[in-house]
């Protein structure tokens, strides 16, 4: 009888693991189909810092893109680059995940649907934040507003590791 309960428990666990399959996303998956077909125009005052007059502060205007509501609450894996927000000298516990190196720092920020705010309590080691990373966790299609820009998605990460193409 005990063996039967054990077998049922194992089957239930396997069933949960199969149903909680992680979906690997590409950045374009975060953009609704109608926006992919009709891309958002770049901000009208987007001037690359290299060409800006240093005496005039750059005031970037971020484009607000729509999110894909069907991704809300899904377990996903997404590769990108880290823009650190919170942490210490060893680990980064809050960061933005962006599609290309330098986004939000040296150029106008990408549209909101191309930025993911990530909370990762375990922390990402500081020595890998300058390289591409894979981040896995629960994605929420909820805008995360900051002082100077916004992220169209947020994620509670369960795993973050260096990018590999495998």
- At 57-108, the pLDDT tens digits run 555 567 888 999 999 999 999 999 999 999 999 999 999 999 988 776 656 7
Q: Is the dihedral of CA 82, 24, 73, 69 positive or negative?
A: positive
Question: For 124-159, how does the pLDDT look when each residue is reduced to its tens digit (9 = 90+)?
Answer: 999 888 899 999 999 999 888 887 778 999 999 999
> Any bridge partners for residue 131, and if so which?
none
Q: Which residues of 127-155 are buried (b: 16+ CB within 10 A; e: fewer)?
A: eebeeebbbbbebbbebbeeeebbbbbbb
In the chain, the DSSP E strands lie at: 23-25, 74-87, 91-98, 116-125, 133-140, 144-145, 150-151, 153-162
Inside any domain, residue 15: no
Inside any domain, residue 46: no
Task: Please tell me which residue, 137 or 50, carries the higher pLDDT value.
Answer: 137
* Cα three-residue angle 74-64-159, rounded to 5 degrees: 30
Q: What is the CATH classification number for the domain harbouring 105?
A: 2.40.50.870
pTM of the entire predicted model: 0.76
Inside any domain, residue 78: yes
Inside any domain, residue 3: no
Q: Which domain holds residue 150?
A: 21-39+60-162
- DSSP-based helix, strand, coil % in the chain, nearest 5: 25, 35, 40
Inside any domain, residue 9: no
- Asked if residue 61 lies in contact with residue 47, where contact means CB atoms within 8 angstroms, the answer is no
Please give the pLDDT value at position 38.
Answer: 77
Inside any domain, residue 55: no
What number of CA atoms fall less than 13 Å from residue 140's CA on the CB side?
11
Question: How many domains is the chain built from?
Answer: 1
* CA trace torsion 59, 105, 38, 26 (10° rounding): -160
* Cα three-residue angle 149-151-157, rounded to 5 degrees: 135
Inside any domain, residue 45: no
Inside any domain, residue 93: yes
Residue 7 has pLDDT above 70, yes or no: no
């Amino acid at each position: 009888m005990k063996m039967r309960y054990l077998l049922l428990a194992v089957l239930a666990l396997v069933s949960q693991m199969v149903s909680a399959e992680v979906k690997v996303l590409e950045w374009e998956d975060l953009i609704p189909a109608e926006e992919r077909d009709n891309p958002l125009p770049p901000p009208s005052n987007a001037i690359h810092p290299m060409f800006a007059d240093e005496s005039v502060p750059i005031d970037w205007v971020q484009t607000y893109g729509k999110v894909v509501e069907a991704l809300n609450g899904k377990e996903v894996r997404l590769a990108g680059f880290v823009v650190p927000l919170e942490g210490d000298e060893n680990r980064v516990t809050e960061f933005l995940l962006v599609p290309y190196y330098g986004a939000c720092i040296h150029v106008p920020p990408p549209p909101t649907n191309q930025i993911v705010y990530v909370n990762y309590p375990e922390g990402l080691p500081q020595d890998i934040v300058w390289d591409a990373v894979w981040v896995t966790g629960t994605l929420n299609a909820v805008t995360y507003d900051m002082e100077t820009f916004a992220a169209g998605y947020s994620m509670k990460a369960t795993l973050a590791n260096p990018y590999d193409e495998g």
